[in-house]
Chains A and B, each alone.
Chain A
Amino acid sequence: MRAIENLQLNQQGKLQHFLSIEGLNKALLTDILDTAESFADMSSQNVKKVPLMRGKTIVNLFFENSTRTRATFELAATRLSADILSMNIATSATSKGESLLDTIHNIEAMQVDMFVVRHSLSGAAHFIAQHVAPHVSVINAGDGQHEHPTQAMLDMFTIRRVKQQFTGLRVAIVGDILHSRVARSQIHALNILGAEEVRVIAPKTLLPADVEQLGVRVYYDMAEGLKDVDVVIMLRLQKERMNSALLPSESEYFKCYGLSEEKLKIAKPDAVVMHPGPINRGVEIASRVADGAQSLILQQVSNGIAVRMAVMSMSMQPQGGQV
């Protein structure tokens, strides 16, 4: 299989686009986490801004709705002193409207420096990165079912803060892996950063074909899959999955794959619980677990800004494209 060509790195090996965890190495991912650490400390200060991206214009280009991710990118950009513009582009199957390339070129004509893109089609961020002017950077905020790399990085940041290192760690990702761009990014990140084992726990209907080739071990039985696990990552189950014959009902799903207090006890006693959000209480996770002592869900949210600040400032291209 051809590895994704490294559009993401410039000739000096520095980040110029952040499109996917796949294609990046351990050193670079660690640099992102370290940089995020310095930004994280800032949030507790009175002055939360640094002038790193002053004078730069960032456009949030969201072809898919999202309030939370968009908000964290807006905050991250503001804390870097950048000017940020959020655009929600409505796309419908019937009215094709402007082509993707035309949308990009029109906005580029307004002298922007960075795009943060969320799109419903896999490969959209990759395509945009191939067609922007040389000094413009593209950050992938989620493309179809492919990757959501900033989410995975904030998850890794959260894990590292609590568990200190990835060696020896067993991580289980539970739920709709098939449709999850977050899961794919997390799997790549965990493997690159050296986790001991990455497991996916799901019914067959929610697993992609040949998923083992991504570097995971498959479990259909949650009780089996949670044994000796240090980190449990729960994925959100969308209501539409019941309508497409992927699952019979929410209650059956919760019985088999929901994280209840009893099931959590199967994992290691100091296991932590994570969820990229938004959570569906009682569907994939019990309220008491989501709000419980082992849950890192709120920390994930607050870490999101620092990680996105790190990714944006590291991807920013040198003045005028010259190095």
Chain B
Amino acid sequence: MQIEIINGQIIDPANQINEQGSLYIQDEHIVGVLSAPKGFIADTTIDAKGQIVCPGFVDLSTRLREPGQTQKASMYSETQAAARAGFTSLCLPPDTQPVIDTVAVVELIKDKAEKCGYPQVYPVAALTQKLAGSELSALYALKNAGCIAVSQAHYPMQDLLVLRRAMEYAATHDLLLMYCPQESSLSKGGCAHEGAMASRYGLPSIPYAAETIALMQCMELIEQTGCRVHFRGLSCARSVVLITKAKKMGLAVTADVAMHQLHLSDEDMLPYDSAYHVVPPLRSEKDKKGLLAGVRKGTIDAICSDHQPHDVDAKLGAFPETEAGISSLETVLPLMMRLVEQEVLDLSQGLSKLSYEPAKLLGLTAGTLSVGAIADICVFHPRLKWKIQAESWLSQGCNTPFWHKEMPAKVTYTLQAGQIIYQND
């Protein structure tokens, strides 16, 4: 199958390309950038006039809710939402039911993803069995079965000796540890950032020290254990300072932030509105500014969705008893365009944070439009406005603080390994 995408603005940050032109695809691969290969005849032509053509996005954390939580969403609905949102690779965190701690679960996930027509779902293995924090999972077998990294999801490690050993074992098999830093005794029972807003509304709170302490505990074990670590989901300015220092010292660490943390602080929360209930919590304006600076300066390598679709009941109740998380895949690109509007980043840098950088830190060959690369491509209209509502939303979870808001940027085509997995013209 030969596809040509013509007249678009091709932005490929990895190869420093940002110009008008065309892209040529044969079967699964890109065979021509800006100029067609000799004798190329297209079966399908996509006219990308007025649109951006860029690498498909790579998400570091997408909860598809299968296996085990089908009342919230299904792999089918969420991969559809991902395709619509321009994502071509997804990392599935290990806190499924059952947990991703056996090869059988990995095979189940890969099988299901294939059946949904979205094979590029990369399971992340549980660092410890059942995520319980005491016994190691069979990391070697899990890696061979197709796990791209290891993680403890939001189950903080209580025993530092186990963390040290787990990091050493992961390092043995050259596995990346994606670590969500949250110290359990300081954050227990909390649901909001410890600050003026939580004090006013009487919400049990989580001080930012819960994040920075856990971050440092893990960081200090990196040199000792030789483990590669990616810090997943920063929420405070101080974490950015610590990562900056670590990188200066030459430590091989990377970090990401969830897109919503760059747009919302605790001051934006409508009182007791569970749409704003997330973990880590939305922190102060000062923290948000620190995260934005971290993104701008490159301390924060990537931005992800942290997609967590929920059923209606999960968000109905007094704030502290509601479940945390935002259904966020479909707002990532529009919110990126807002950051570009606010001049936090230019468009090329922004798209890089969504595709090339996450692919790079995962060790995935994706996120580029090089000749010979797998054809994972997103074509989108940067200025078209649309309103978030049931008709325009594919995720089964409607839990987002941006519901009914108007957003910029609409994806018109998404290709995964040369297959059109989404189109809307």
| Interfacial residues, chain A to chain B (CB-CB below 8 A) | 1-2, 4-5, 22, 99-101, 119, 121-124, 126-127, 143-147, 181, 184, 208-211, 213-214
Asked if A122 and B270 sit within 8 Å, CB to CB, the answer is: no
At the interface, yes or no: B146 with Cβ under 8 Å from chain A?
A: no
Partner of B269, one of A2, A184, A211: A2
Asked if A210 and B202 sit within 8 Å, CB to CB, the answer is: no
Of A99, A119, A144, A181, most buried by chain B (CB within 10 Å of CB) is A144
At the interface, yes or no: B37 with Cβ under 8 Å from chain A?
A: no
Asked if B194 and A209 sit within 8 Å, CB to CB, the answer is: yes
Partner of B320, one of A101, A123, A214: A123
- 25 A-B pairs whose Cβ atoms sit less than 8 Å apart in the complex: A1-B197, A2-B268, A2-B269, A2-B271, A5-B270, A100-B317, A119-B318, A121-B321, A122-B203, A122-B318, A122-B320, A123-B318, A126-B272, A126-B318, A127-B317, A144-B202, A144-B203, A144-B320, A145-B204, A146-B202, A147-B202, A181-B202, A208-B199, A209-B205, A210-B196
Asked if A124 and B316 sit within 8 Å, CB to CB, the answer is: no
CA distance A285 to B325 in the complex (A): 45
Tell me which residues across on chain A come within 8 A of B207, comparing CB atoms: 209
At the interface, yes or no: B391 with Cβ under 8 Å from chain A?
A: no
Known: A5-B270, A126-B272. A213 touches B317 (CB 8 A): no
CA distance A211 to B390 in the complex (A): 41
Tell me which residues across on chain B come within 8 A of A101, comparing CB atoms: 316-317
Tell me which residues across on chain A come within 8 A of B268, comparing CB atoms: 2
Partner of B318, one of A22, A100, A209, A214: A100
Which residue of the partner chain A has the closest CB to B192?
Answer: A122
At the interface, yes or no: B267 with Cβ under 8 Å from chain A?
A: yes
Q: 7 more A-B contacts (CB under 8 A) besides A143-B202, A143-B318, A208-B199?
A: A1-B267, A2-B271, A127-B319, A184-B202, A209-B198, A210-B196, A213-B199
Tell me which residues across on chain B come within 8 A of A210, comparing CB atoms: 195-196, 199
Tell me which residues across on chain B come within 8 A of A144, comparing CB atoms: 202-203, 318, 320
| A-B contacts, CB under 8 A, total | 84
Tell me which residues across on chain B come within 8 A of A213, comparing CB atoms: 196, 199-200
Tell me which residues across on chain B come within 8 A of A146, comparing CB atoms: 201-203
Known: A99-B317, A101-B316, A209-B195. A123 touches B267 (CB 8 A): no
- CB of A145 to closest CB in B, whole Å: 3
CA distance A101 to B320 in the complex (A): 15
At the interface, yes or no: B159 with Cβ under 8 Å from chain A?
A: no
At the interface, yes or no: B425 with Cβ under 8 Å from chain A?
A: no
Asked if A1 and B196 sit within 8 Å, CB to CB, the answer is: yes
Which residue of the partner chain B has the closest CB to A63?
Answer: B318
At the interface, yes or no: B313 with Cβ under 8 Å from chain A?
A: yes
Known: A143-B318, A144-B320. A123 touches B271 (CB 8 A): yes
Tell me which residues across on chain B come within 8 A of A184, comparing CB atoms: 200, 202
Partner of B199, one of A2, A127, A209: A209
- CB of A92 to closest CB in B, whole Å: 13
0/1 interface trace, chain B 272-297, chain A, CB 8 Å (1 if under): 10000000000000000000000000
0/1 interface trace, chain B 295-336, chain A, CB 8 Å (1 if under): 000000000000000000100111111000000000000000
CA distance A144 to B198 in the complex (A): 12
Across the A-B interface, the 9 shortest Cβ-Cβ residue pairs: A145-B202, A146-B202, A208-B199, A123-B272, A121-B318, A210-B196, A122-B202, A124-B318, A213-B196
Asked if A123 and B269 sit within 8 Å, CB to CB, the answer is: no
Tell me which residues across on chain B come within 8 A of A145, comparing CB atoms: 202-204
Which residue of the partner chain A has the closest CB to B200?
Answer: A214
Asked if A209 and B320 sit within 8 Å, CB to CB, the answer is: no
Known: A1-B200, A184-B202, A210-B196. A99 touches B316 (CB 8 A): yes
- CB of B175 to closest CB in A, whole Å: 36
Tell me which residues across on chain B come within 8 A of A1, comparing CB atoms: 196-197, 200, 267
Asked if B200 and A121 sit within 8 Å, CB to CB, the answer is: no
Which residue of the partner chain A has the closest CB to B267?
Answer: A1
Tell me which residues across on chain B come within 8 A of A119, comparing CB atoms: 318
Q: Which positions 153-209 of chain B face chain A at CB distance < 8 Å?
A: 194-205, 207
Tell me which residues across on chain A come within 8 A of B201, comparing CB atoms: 122-123, 146
- CB of B401 to closest CB in A, whole Å: 12
Tell me which residues across on chain A come within 8 A of B271, comparing CB atoms: 2, 4-5, 123, 126
- CB of B409 to closest CB in A, whole Å: 27
CA distance A5 to B271 in the complex (A): 8
0/1 interface trace, chain B 238-271, chain A, CB 8 Å (1 if under): 0000000000000000000000000000011111
CA distance A181 to B202 in the complex (A): 7
CA distance A127 to B201 in the complex (A): 13
- CB of B198 to closest CB in A, whole Å: 7
- CB of B321 to closest CB in A, whole Å: 6
